[in-house]
Chain A
Amino acid sequence: MAGKLKVSTVSLAGCFGCHMSLLDIDERLLTLLERVEFDRSPITDIKHCSPCDIGLIEGGVCNAENVHVLREFRANCKVLVALGACAVNGGLPAQRNALDVGEILQMVYRTGHGLAPGSAVPDDPELPLPLNQVHPVHEVVRIDYFLPGCPPSADAIWSFLNDLIEGRAPRLGHGLLQYD
């Protein structure tokens, strides 16, 4: 495996759509695997990063666990990439930012319809606490590149990764940048 770049990927407060888009590079995945080796990623099911060359972060930061994972990636990845709209801007999960998270918890677990009697806000220490607001990843750690799109197209991801692998500054031309 010598000479291959190591890549880690994760989805924080995202929908895995960006990972689906990564898989959408289809048979080019085989070509990619000649150049890179996946470390922590849903593809490998490895639970922790070891030192890597590239880290791809899908999704924003909505809870304490996201913060820990993001920090682990930052500490281990030479190049950290915000992949897709939620990582770049907070995206759909950030729509809750206009509401108070305390009131949301209250409504979901205490006062909402159809709850069992005595329902309470879960306080199990195994559960990560939600942050007051959902943040884009660059508000929590330093990010080297931003790849916008919901999701970024397979071609955009392919072109971006190839640029990085070849040691070029990534540049998305016309047609590869999509914001819708």
Chain B
Amino acid sequence: MDASELDRILVQHRREPSQLLQILIDVQEQAGWLPPDVISAIASALAVPRVRVESTASFYSFLHTQPAGEYRLLFSDNITDRMLGNTGLMSALCEQLWLEPGRLSEDGLVRVDTTSCTGMCDQGPALLANGRAITRLTVDRINEMAHLVRSRVPIGDWPPEWFEVADNIQRRDVLLDHRLSPGEALAAALDRGAAGLLAEIERSSLRGRGGAGFGSDIKWRSCRDAWGDAHYVICNADEGEPGTFKDRVLLNSYFDLVVDGMCIAGLAIGSSKGFIYLRGEYRYLLDRLQARLAQRREQGLLGRNILGRGFSFDIDIHLGAGAYICGEESALIESLEGKPGKPRIRPPFPVTNGYRGQPTTVNNVETLALAALIAVRGGEWFRAIGTPASTGTKLLSVSGDVARPGIYEFPFGVTVADVLQAAGARDTLAVTSAGAAGHCLDEHEFGRRIAFEDVATGGSIMVFDRSRDMLEVARNFAHFFAHESCGFCTPCRVGTVVVARLIDKLAAGRGSPYDLEEMAKMHVLMQGASHCGLGNTATIAVNDMLSRFRSVFESRLQSSEYEPAFDLDAALSRARQMTGRDDPGAHLGSNLSAIDTHRHPPDWGDATYAPFPATPSPAKDEQP
């Protein structure tokens, strides 16, 4: 990449170190990867140490510090993509391109690999082609794709229907049927004033839609009351939970309501600046969202003196780059500041010490959209919907074994069975209630209600019918977390890998009851000792599957005795090869037979004991 192009990007980002991640993303879009000399150039232009640039560049999955190819094809590898056959499609593509998965082709043209859930579970299998989402992959599409790559057709010229992303809204309620015009909610909020607005939010009992369900009024009030030079509103659109895609739909078709919600949050906490942290997987939405923000500025619905009412608020959109952990609010803020997305030590919480150390409120996309509705219709109206402890409606992203995958808006309190019926699920074995990080329910629990007081959820409902192997589901989740752990704290960094290896061991038919026990122990340890929510929730679903579908796991156990995860005899292969030996001492049997032998130890006679035959081998004598 030439110096003037780099300079253009740097100027566009005001040579501001906190823009580092955005600069790296822009540079990579031009250059295809981040070469060492460019990293050095960026470091000196921003006047930061080179290691800082490198640590950010190497943290995010979508940033490449090695050549990554002209075509970077990443298959979404959520369990729902697996169920739709992504594994077969990926090997077919690799075969046609003469590639190994995860390795750049010899000519530097193309690399095919997997990535965590891209939020297209209702229209998978999906992939990202140089960051652009392609949905509904079929064998035909894969064949044509291989041809297009080989003929070096630019991705911009690929069939446009491949890039179509449908909303798939299956059930609408008050939010998806809001009928408000852009700015209407904001005008209503300005009429109420900050104090009146906060009173309505309190009356509504609105709780955060990311899954934790923290009271929005408490968050906004604490943020408003916190002292600072500036206050910030952050819209958390880093929707990374496997199986969730509701924010994709809200941003695509309800963006004005979300922006109104952000302005309203700004009014409530006394802020004039907001950020949307958009996950890298939704890069395809960026240009359109930017254009709409520009339009709103022209219409007096954003920027200085909004609606001529003296209130100023503006919004920047920041892109993520493939890190699930950035959905955690303090990691998100770190990322927004251009750093690796590692969660901060809390307290202090973002409401007092957030973006650049200033009071910051981080809200889910859906929460902000609902706040806009409440500004117009009032808290009492909202509180009448749902249950007393969980007011309003919830967007559910339903995927997996259902006839009609997509977005379902239900009032809180709906039973899991009702959701399953609406989605046309049949013969259901299990349901995840909050993606890979939440509880997994079996048929005895389908009568439970979706609400913070019963089945709490961020909205990711993945459905598995009786044909599915829950061990494969657990395995997919375990590998997801092992990949997405940020590596900051040991319980999570090591624990996620230990769990993934144990499940692999089980899947390979080498498991024993001790491995199941170890997984249960790891669950307890990680829940208590991890630094943030990722480690605390990483084993919940797997642990539920272990207890609810125990027979599935037990049927894979090889024996009741401990078995190593690897083949001991094969572990002597190199030494056998180098020594040319093949005598009994050059082999190892399985643990089982060995332990049996030791229970009744053969009489070797003390003095002559050797585990290997003591007689000299003929081969030795023949040697010079």
Residues on A facing B (Cβ under 8 Å): 47-48, 64-65, 67-69, 71-72, 74-76, 100-102, 105-106, 118, 120-133, 135, 139-142
Contact = CB atoms under 8 A, between A and B. Distances in A.
B598 interface: yes
Contact of A75 (B574, B585, B595): B595
Given A123-B617, A124-B616, A139-B565, A106 B578 contact: yes
23 contacts: A47-B606, A64-B611, A67-B588, A68-B611, A71-B598, A72-B598, A75-B597, A75-B599, A101-B574, A102-B577, A106-B578, A118-B624, A122-B579, A125-B615, A125-B620, A126-B610, A126-B616, A128-B611, A132-B570, A132-B572, A132-B573, A135-B566, A140-B564
Contacts of A120: 623
Contact of A132 (B571, B583, B599, B620): B571
A123 B577 contact: no
A114 B527 CA distance: 56
Nearest to B570: A132
A67 B569 CA distance: 11
Given A129-B579, A129-B586, A48 B611 contact: no
Interface of B: 512, 514, 561-562, 564-566, 568, 570-581, 583, 585-586, 588, 591, 594-595, 597-599, 601, 604, 606, 609-617, 619-620, 623-624
B588 A101 contact: no
Contacts of A142: 512, 514, 561-562
A125 B613 contact: yes
Contacts of A128: 585, 611-612
B347 to A, nearest CB: 25
Contacts of B614: 126
Contacts of A135: 566
A67 B597 CA distance: 13
Max chain B Cβ within 10 angstroms of own Cβ: one of A64, A65, A122, A132: A64
B611 A123 contact: no
Contacts of A48: 601, 604, 606, 609
A131 B612 contact: no
A74 B595 contact: yes
B524 to A, nearest CB: 15
Contacts of B623: 120
B601 A100 contact: no
User: Main SS of the interface on chain B?
Assistant: loop
A64 B585 contact: yes
SS class of chain A's interface: helix, strand, loop or mixed?
mixed
B599 A125 contact: no
A64 B591 contact: no
B566 A139 contact: yes
Contacts of A67: 568, 588, 594
A34 to B, nearest CB: 28
Contacts of B566: 135, 139
Nearest to B565: A139
A100 B574 contact: yes
Given A74-B595, A122-B579, A65 B612 contact: yes
B584 to A, nearest CB: 8
Given A124-B617, A125-B583, A141 B574 contact: no
A124 B612 CA distance: 10
B6 to A, nearest CB: 37
B588 A64 contact: yes
Contact of A64 (B572, B601, B613, B615): B572
A125 B611 contact: no
A118 B623 CA distance: 10
B578 A102 contact: yes
B574 A126 contact: no
A139 B515 CA distance: 11
Given A76-B598, A124-B617, A140-B564, A129 B581 contact: yes
A28 B59 CA distance: 51
B564 A125 contact: no
Given A47-B606, A130-B575, A125 B617 contact: yes
A118 B581 CA distance: 18
Contacts of A124: 616-617, 620
A121 B599 contact: no
A51 to B, nearest CB: 9
Contact of A126 (B568, B599, B612): B612
A123 B574 CA distance: 13
A72 B572 CA distance: 19
Contacts of B606: 47-48
B575 A131 contact: yes
Contacts of B572: 64, 129, 131-132
A118 B588 CA distance: 30
Contacts of A140: 564, 568, 591
Contacts of B595: 71, 74-75
Contacts of A76: 598
Contacts of B575: 101-102, 105, 129-132
Contacts of A74: 562, 595, 598
A142 B620 CA distance: 37
